[in-house]
Chains A and B, each alone.
Chain A
Amino acid sequence: MRAGIYVHVPFCLTRCGYCDFNAYAGLGHLQPRYVRALLAEASLAATDWGGVLVGSVFLGGGTPTTLDAADLASILAHLRDRFDVTRDAEVTVEANPDTVDAPKLAALLDAGFGRLSMGAQSFDPAVLASLERVHGAHSVRTAMVAAREVGYANVSIDLIYGAQGETVASWKRTLRESIALGPEHISAYALTVEPSTPLGRQIALGARPAPDPDRQAEMFELACVLLAEAGYHHYEVSNWARPGFECRHNLGYWERRPYLGLGAGAHSHRDDRRWWNVRPPEEYLRQVEAGRLPVGGEERLEPSDAHLEEVFLRLRILEGVPASWVEPRTAEPFLQGGLLRERDGALVPTERGMLLLNELVLALAG
Chain B
Amino acid sequence: MTDTTRIRNFCIIAHIDHGKSTLADRLLEITHAVADRDMREQYLDKMDLERERGITIKAQAVRLAYETAGTSYELNLIDTPGHVDFTYEVSRSLAACEGAVLLVDAAQGVEAQTLANYHLARDAGLVIVPVLNKIDLPQADVHGTARDLAELVGCDPSEVLAVSGKTGEGVTELLETVIARVPAPEGSISDPLRALIFDSTFDAYRGVIAYVRVKDGALRTRAKLHAVAARMDWEAEETGVFAPEATPIPELGPGEVGYLVTGLKDVHQVNVGDTITNQGRDRAHEPLPGYREPKPMVWSGLFPAEGGDYGALRDALDKLKLNDAALVFEPETSMALGFGFRCGFLGLLHMDIVKERLEREFDLELIATAPNVEFHVIRGDETLVVHNPSEMPQPGTYDRVEEPVVLATIITPSDFLGAVLELCQSRRGEMVDMKYLSTTRVEVHYQLPLAEIIFDFFDQLKSRTRGYASLDYESSGYQASALVRVDVLLHGEPVDAFSSVVHREKAYPYGRAMVERLKELIPRQLFDVAIQASIGSRIVARETVKAKRKDVLAKCYGGDITRKRKLLEQQKRGKARMRRVGRVDVPQEAFIAALRVDQRSGERS
Q: State the A residues within 8 Å of B (CB).
A: 6, 21, 60, 189-192, 213-214, 216-217, 220, 236-238, 250, 253-254, 256, 259, 261, 266-269, 274, 276, 299, 305, 308-309, 312-313, 316, 337, 339, 352, 354-359, 361-362
Contacts and interface: CB of A to CB of B under 8 A. Distances in A.
Contacts of A191: 554
Given A189-B554, A190-B550, A362-B572, A268 B559 contact: yes
Given A361-B568, A362-B568, A192 B554 contact: yes
Given A267-B558, A276-B560, A356 B565 contact: no
B575 A362 contact: yes
B550 A250 contact: no
A316 B559 contact: no
B556 A316 contact: yes
Given A253-B559, A339-B526, A362-B575, 4 more contacts: A6-B559, A238-B555, A238-B556, A305-B565
Contacts of B546: 214
Contacts of B572: 362
B578 to A, nearest CB: 12
B551 interface: yes
A254 B558 CA distance: 11
Given A259-B559, A313-B561, A359 B569 contact: no
Contacts of B553: 192, 357-358
B231 interface: no
A359 B562 contact: no
Contacts of A354: 552
A150 to B, nearest CB: 26
Nearest to A160: B554
B576 to A, nearest CB: 10
B439 interface: no
Given A213-B550, A220-B550, A355-B551, A21 B558 contact: yes
B40 interface: no
A49 to B, nearest CB: 15
Contacts of A305: 565
CB-CB nearest 5 A-B residue pairs? A267-B559, A217-B549, A357-B552, A217-B550, A190-B554
Contacts of A358: 551-553, 568, 571
6 contacts: A189-B555, A190-B554, A250-B557, A253-B561, A309-B565, A352-B549
Given A305-B565, A309-B565, A359 B559 contact: no
Main secondary structure of the interface of B (DSSP, over half): loop
B526 A359 contact: yes
B548 interface: yes
Given A192-B553, A238-B555, A308 B560 contact: no
A23 to B, nearest CB: 11
B564 interface: yes
A21 B560 CA distance: 11
A261 B551 contact: no
B552 to A, nearest CB: 4
Nearest to A299: B562
Contacts of B550: 190, 213-214, 216-217, 220, 355-356
A309 B561 contact: yes
Contacts of B561: 253, 256, 267, 269, 274, 309, 313
Contacts of B554: 189-192, 237-238
B575 to A, nearest CB: 6
Nearest to A353: B552
Nearest to A239: B557
Given A305-B565, A361-B568, A213 B548 contact: yes
A253 B526 contact: no
A358 B572 CA distance: 9
Nearest to A161: B554
B551 A357 contact: yes
B559 A312 contact: no
B177 to A, nearest CB: 61
Given A189-B554, A254-B556, A358-B551, A274 B562 contact: yes
Interface in B227-280: none
Nearest to A352: B549
Contact of A362 (B548, B557, B571): B571
B319 to A, nearest CB: 40
Contacts of B558: 6, 21, 60, 253, 267
Nearest to A333: B526
A144 B548 CA distance: 38
B551 A214 contact: no
B556 A253 contact: yes
A217 B527 CA distance: 15
Interface string B525-559: 01100000000000000000010111111111111
A356 B552 contact: yes
A337 B568 contact: no
Nearest to B551: A358
B522 to A, nearest CB: 16
B35 to A, nearest CB: 55
A362 B527 CA distance: 17
B550, B553, B555 pick with most chain A CB within 10 angstroms: B550
A312 B564 contact: yes
Contacts of A357: 551-553
B383 to A, nearest CB: 47
A220 B552 CA distance: 11
A313 B575 CA distance: 21
A274 B561 CA distance: 9
B560 A267 contact: yes
Contacts of B569: 308
A305 B572 CA distance: 13
B575 A237 contact: no
Given A253-B557, A274-B562, A312 B568 contact: yes
A192 B555 contact: yes
Contacts of B552: 190, 237, 354-358
Nearest to A250: B557
B549 A213 contact: yes
Given A214-B549, A356-B550, A267 B564 contact: no
Contact of B526 (A216, A236, A337): A337
A305 B526 CA distance: 25
Nearest to B569: A308
Contacts of A269: 559, 561
Contacts of A362: 568, 571-572, 575
B61 to A, nearest CB: 55
Contacts of B549: 213-214, 217, 352, 355-356
A305 B566 CA distance: 9
A220 B575 CA distance: 26
Contacts of A259: 559
